[in-house]
Structure 1
């Protein structure tokens, strides 16, 4: 087991209870671990939520944190995965001045080459959406920033494991 820090994606299956997000984030906070990204959503099982948390730490410490997360009453199961063990995406949205779309031919090329898409265009602004790896989103940000970005936001990571997590069987029992 290596003592080197690396990115881990943590998947936490939970009952949907108020205050749980605060308690889970406090587990990381107490250990002075910065959460790189956080996403909460419904899971594949009705009435069960899924937290997807990205952190940079050692494997030894992530194992301890998984144990602490699983001690929370509402947590059904928590897993951690390395970058190689998951398939993931992030999304971002850019708001830019409409004039740029028509005056700067290069912007249309950037949008096309990056596989981004225009979501809406009106007289004052247009909105571009892009999904992909963090590096792809950062590249698009750098390319568009020279033209002036009015607003920008990026989602947390969403991910699925390459291997089965055996959670479905456990969740079916939970539903009964």
Structure 2
């Protein structure tokens, strides 16, 4: 039996209304939970990139990618293991300002986690942290002791370690 692993699926698409709905329906029909989803412009103007993280078998990852490529707006889709990608996530924490000055341990936590203070005012301060999910979760556990007013985490952003010939494909697509 095949092992369930974490895969990063990259989808290069035209930017059309309703595409996200159709892509998520492909995962829903197979009862696959999307762990993380990020979408942004790609390296080519007019072409967007979805980065989706899922846990499944490699056979299913291949099948899903083939189904996604059947969508009219999809230019190309790929899947990669964690070992084949370089990835990170970002997060922000909003915390009461008084803690920054009254709790010396907070300053140590910030320094040790390599978090960055984005803004400080009389009511709150905001921290930003980029890294692996386990680093972000560790910081969240450490700060939970003091109380977090708000917390938000991005989806994964990733690039592949190996060269991908997608740029030539996207340039050709964009010049049509």
| TM tier relative to shorter chain | over 0.9
1:99: which partner in 2? 98
Distance in structure 2 (CA, Å) of the matches to 1:107 and 1:84? 34
TM-score of the superposed pair, with normalisation by structure 1: 0.98
Q: Deviations over 1:32-66 (max 9, x none)?
A: 10000000000000000000000000001010000
- In the alignment of these two chains, the number of paired residues is 175
> What is the root-mean-square deviation in Å for CA atoms of aligned residues?
0.6
What is the Cα deviation at residue 165 of structure 1?
1.7
- What aligned pairs does 1:52-71 form with structure 2 within 5 A after superposition? 52-71=51-70
Q: Deviations over 1:11-37 (max 9, x none)?
A: 000000000000000000000100000
TM-score of the superposed pair, with normalisation by structure 2: 0.98
Check if 1:26 corresponds to 2:31. Answer: no
- What aligned pairs does 1:3-152 form with structure 2 within 5 A after superposition? 3-152=2-151
Q: Where does the alignment leave 5 or more consecutive residues of structure 2 unmatched?
A: none
Distance in structure 1 (CA, Å) of the matches to 2:81 and 2:53? 10
Q: Where does the alignment leave 5 or more consecutive residues of structure 1 unmatched?
A: none
Q: Which structure 1 residue ranges, 4+ long, deviate > 6 Å from structure 2?
A: none
